[in-house]
Amino acid sequence: MKSSGSTSEQSRIYNERIILHLVRQHPEISRVSIAERTGLSAQTISVITSSLLERQLLQVAGKVKGRRGQPSIKLSINKTGAYGLGINVDRDHISAALLDFSGTCVLLLERMVSFPTEALAKNIAQDLIEEVKATLGADWNKVQGIGLTRPDYMDSWLETLVTDSDQRADLEGLKAALAYWQSNAFEAWLTNLTGVPCFCENDAVAAATSELLLSPSAPQGHFFYLFVSTACGGSFVANGECYFGAHGKAGSFGLIPTATGKHGKWILEALSVSSLRRFFADRHVEWPVTDAMWLDTQYPQWIEQWANEVALEVAPALASVVALYDPEAILIGGRLPPPVLARLIACIENTLMSHSMLALPPIRIAQTGHTAGVLGAAVLPLYGSFAPQQNVLLLSPKQALLSAEVRKTP
């Protein structure tokens, strides 16, 4: 195995990202405080922060008073210094989000679909991008890239994930249309359309990344993220970075078999919005179309039954995650309605107690909720360009300078 050390240029890029991350977590921090927290020399911090101020990624937020000598300036992230654009293509929607450099969502757009074909996805994505361009105007050149998130295996498990009656009548035709998503053609099309690099990840990894960059407090370094949408997936975070494994598939929680198969052979079928829709349809229960309808008195009994059954299906797999990984927390995000997600977490906690001899980590709702997929997509360009990832130190000098290159998933 070839090992590589870090050059001065690589170290400078990494230190720059460390400082940006620190300022993001501690707005109006002084250079003196940065030195105390990082151990970097005052000269190094002065050179790097001056460069970041010149590039308008940082801004002066005031001066520290009450100290002897020349007052030290306070630094904050310049919100308009950079932007991240995200596109989330899922089985039931296509959405776009624009984040400023502070992580604030400037624009959020969504179009509902039923399993996107190539033509439909391109038409919607182009319309969404035009709206983003109109919002940014001349600041479009500050967009660091376009993040694309989409589920793996878009054309698989259609028998259980498709709930539209017309599409169910021709599953083979739908499968053929969705074969387009087996390639990277859409990523290439987005790059050509926008003129900016495309950062591609599955939706679970992107959602976990958004927790790392956008958490209002210092995020945990070790957690497992469960992303629940039309299907579900997972992502491991270790030492503050997403862990991909030998072939980029670590965290593929949805590909673990269920305990009994009652709601599908695989967890991605059982722990899903599709599963809940099937459950309601089989019992002739109307699917709520507004948030208020979920609070109607007819729904708690059905939500409780579904949540208990699904918790039993996934508990052995989650117990394995706890035993093998020892996470600080398990976060669940995605598109399950809030009342359903709250009951599901309670049922999983109760069920896990009988499946694990180890202390159970807290199970919490992820901060980004139902927008996790698209916000995670918008985070990808900002994270890839500015986050202090350890592998920056191990890149070749040329790679370090071009560290915003696209990371393609197989």
Model pLDDT for residues 291-312, shown as the tens digit of each residue: 899 999 999 999 999 999 999 9
Q: How far apart are CA 336 and CA 332, in angstroms?
A: 10
Q: What is the pTM of this model?
A: 0.84
CATH superfamily of 82-207+372-401: ATPase, nucleotide binding domain (3.30.420.40)
Sign of dihedral through CA atoms 164, 169, 171, 174? negative
Q: How far apart are CA 346 and CA 49, in angstroms?
A: 46
**Residue tagged 């929607």 (tokens):** 93
- In CATH terms, are 8-77 and 217-366 the same topology? no
Sign of dihedral through CA atoms 282, 283, 284, 289? negative
Q: What is the CATH class of 8-77?
A: mainly alpha
230 pLDDT more than 90: yes
- 198-201 and 29-30 beta bridge pairing: unpaired
Model pLDDT for residues 51-85, shown as the tens digit of each residue: 999 999 999 988 876 656 556 789 999 999 999 99
Model pLDDT for residues 139-149, shown as the tens digit of each residue: 999 999 999 99
Model pLDDT for residues 259-283, shown as the tens digit of each residue: 999 999 999 999 999 999 999 999 9
| Assigned fold of 217-366 | Nucleotidyltransferase; domain 5 (3.30.420)
Q: How far apart are CA 275 and CA 312, in angstroms?
A: 14
Q: What is the mean pLDDT of the chain?
A: 88
Closest C-alpha to 135, from 81, 87, 85: 85
> Given this model, what pLDDT does residue 403 score?
40
User: Long-range CB contacts (< 8 A, 24+ apart) of 55-60?
Assistant: 55/81, 56/80, 56/81, 57/20, 57/81, 57/82, 57/101, 57/386, 58/20, 58/23
241 pLDDT more than 50: yes
CB-CB contact of 53 with 60 (8 Å): yes
Write down the domain spans for the chain: 8-77, 82-207+372-401, 217-366
Length of the chain in terms of residues written: 410
